[in-house]
Amino acid sequence: MLTIPNIINLPQKLHQAQIDFYQKHKYIKIKQVFDPETIAFFNREISQKVAQMKQEDTPLEKRDTYGKAFLQLFNLWRENETIKALVFSKRLASIAAQLMEAEGVRLYHDQALFKEAGGGITPWHADQYYWPLATDKTITAWIPLQETPLEMGPLEFSAGSHQIVEGRDLAISDESEEKIHAKLRVTDFEHIIEPFDIGEVSFHSGWVFHRAGANQTDQVRKVMTVIYMDKDMKLKQPENDGQMNDWNTWCPGAKVGEIIESPLNPVLYEI
């Protein structure tokens, strides 16, 4: 039986300046959320599960832009009790709740995002295009499972770009990269491109625009993500096929106009 690192369930108290920064820019990077030993522990567990679950056999050069961006596997918490401990981490969930200024957070779902050696860009996009959620009280924890230099394709943000409505109707694609990039070029929103230290975690809103560069190294860029929503989040009427799919997949049985409280969406933390 593996011993889960204790740090994952120790809530982390944020400074008001961090909350204010997030509320203004709708992203934040926080160093030393986890120690290197904890990251190495979950790197081993998640890498093993991804290797078991992945079904992508198409050579990298023959995939479309989305396929080249990363291997994407969902809800690993349902596949592995050790990974579940990270996804249900009170440390991460407490940070998410404070940043969103919510009384508590529910799980929306998790994703492993493994950008293979030589993998392409992740185009500009806003996550909430895919989500049938009634408000913008959503947040994603982006947890690199190794030190992530610029050459490996860390997450990039357009700080404060949640204010832009144009581009919200675009799925991740060559079109979203081109059109959103063109829009951001004529705005004053700062483009944040920085490496991630080991143990550093970023948090971003569902409507802030972000992307990632290509992985120019010979190593896999391994990332685990956890997506949270306000514990009182209600389901909205889906506006596209992606949102309809998410309703059926990540919150089955939820009803439009009611709080999403399916068995897949437990409350992970309350203040």
**Domain-located, residue 242:** no
CB 136 within 8 A of CB 162: yes
Does the pLDDT at position 67 exceed 70? no
More confident of the two residues 8 and 56: 8
Q: What is the mean pLDDT of residues 93-102?
A: 98
pLDDT of residue 139: 98
| Predicted model pTM | 0.94
**Domain-located, residue 269:** no
Half-sphere exposure of residue 63, counting CA atoms within 13 Å on the CB side?
Answer: 18
Does the pLDDT at position 62 exceed 70? no
pLDDT of residue 56: 60
**Domain-located, residue 212:** yes
Task: Look up the domain containing 180 and give its range.
Answer: 9-53+67-230
Q: Which helix (H) or strand (E) holds 86?
A: helix 81-87
pLDDT of residue 76: 98
pLDDT of residue 65: 63
User: Which one-letter DSSP state was computed for residue 234?
Assistant: B
As a whole number of angstroms, the distance between CA 119 and CA 154 comes to 12
How far is C-alpha 89 from the chain's CA centre? Answer: 15
As a whole number of angstroms, the distance between CA 76 and CA 143 comes to 14
pLDDT tier at 183, thresholds 50, 70, 90: confident
Residues 6+ apart with CB under 8 A from 129: 168, 169, 170, 171, 240, 242
pLDDT tier at 29, thresholds 50, 70, 90: very high
Does the pLDDT at position 70 exceed 90? no
**Domain-located, residue 86:** yes
Backbone angles phi, psi at 155, to 5 degrees: -65, 140
More confident of the two residues 69 and 154: 154
**Domain-located, residue 216:** yes
pLDDT tier at 60, thresholds 50, 70, 90: low
252: which 2 tokens?
């089955």
pLDDT tier at 225, thresholds 50, 70, 90: very high
**Average confidence score pLDDT of the chain:** 94
Q: Which residues pair with 199 in a beta bridge?
A: none
Share of the chain above pLDDT 90, in %: 86
**Domain-located, residue 155:** yes
The packing angle between helices 16-25 and 90-100, to 10°, is: 70
pLDDT of residue 54: 84
Q: What is the mean pLDDT of residues 36-48?
A: 97
Which CATH number does the domain housing residue 108 bear? Answer: 2.60.120.620
Q: What is the mean pLDDT of residues 208-220?
A: 97
**Considering its fold, how many domains does the chain have in total?**
1
**Domain-located, residue 252:** no
**Domain-located, residue 109:** yes
Does the pLDDT at position 63 exceed 90? no
pLDDT digits (tens, 9 = 90+) for 235-255: 999 999 999 999 999 999 999
Q: What is the mean pLDDT of residues 117-125?
A: 94
pLDDT of residue 2: 81
pLDDT digits (tens, 9 = 90+) for 124-165: 999 999 999 999 999 999 999 999 999 999 999 999 999 998
pLDDT of residue 58: 72
Half-sphere exposure of residue 202, counting CA atoms within 13 Å on the CB side?
Answer: 25
